[in-house]
Amino acid sequence: MKMIKFSFFILVVFISVVGCKKDLDLTPQSEITDPAYWQTANDFRLAANWFYNQTLPDPRYYGTNNNDNMSDIAFGQSSIDPVSSGTYVPAEQDDNWDSAYSSIRNANKLIAEGVSSALKTDVQPFLGEGYFFRAFDYFNLLKLYGGVPIINKVLLPTDSAVFTARASRDVVMDSILSDLDNAIADLPAKPVAETGRICKEAAQAFKARVCLFEGTWRKFHASGDANVLLDQAVAAAKAVIDSKSYVLYQGKGDASYRYMFIDNTSMNDPETIISKKYRTNINVNGWAYGVSWGNLNPTKAAADMYLCNDGLPIDKSPLFKGYDSCRSEFYNRDLRMAQSLLIPATKVIRPQYDSYRPQVAWDG
Name which of 148, 102, 108 is nearest 131 in CA terms.
Answer: 108
pLDDT at res. 201: 98
- Cα torsion 86, 90, 95, 98 to 10°: value is 140
Of 73, 90, 69, the C-alpha closest to 81 is 69
**Residue at 300: amino acid letter:** K
Specify the CATH number of the domain 33-57+69-187.
Answer: 1.25.40.890
> E-assigned strands of the chain?
74-75, 297-298, 346-349, 358-361
Contacts of 234 (CB under 8 A, 6+ apart): 208
Question: What tens-digit pLDDT sequence spans the chain (364 residues)?
Answer: 445 444 444 444 444 555 555 566 666 666 677 777 899 999 999 999 999 888 876 444 334 567 788 888 888 876 778 888 888 887 888 888 999 999 999 999 999 999 999 999 999 999 999 999 999 999 999 998 999 999 999 998 899 989 999 999 999 999 999 999 999 999 999 999 998 899 999 999 999 999 999 999 999 999 989 999 999 999 999 999 999 999 998 888 888 888 887 776 666 788 889 877 655 554 555 555 555 666 778 889 999 999 999 999 999 999 999 999 989 999 999 999 988 888 887 776 665 555 555 554 444 3
pLDDT score at 18: 53
Burial of 229 (0-12, 13-18, 19+ CB in 10 A): buried
Cα–Cα distances (Å) from 185 to 130, 204, 331, in that order, read: 12, 10, 47
pLDDT for the residue numbered 60: 42
E strand or H helix at 106, and its extent? helix 95-116
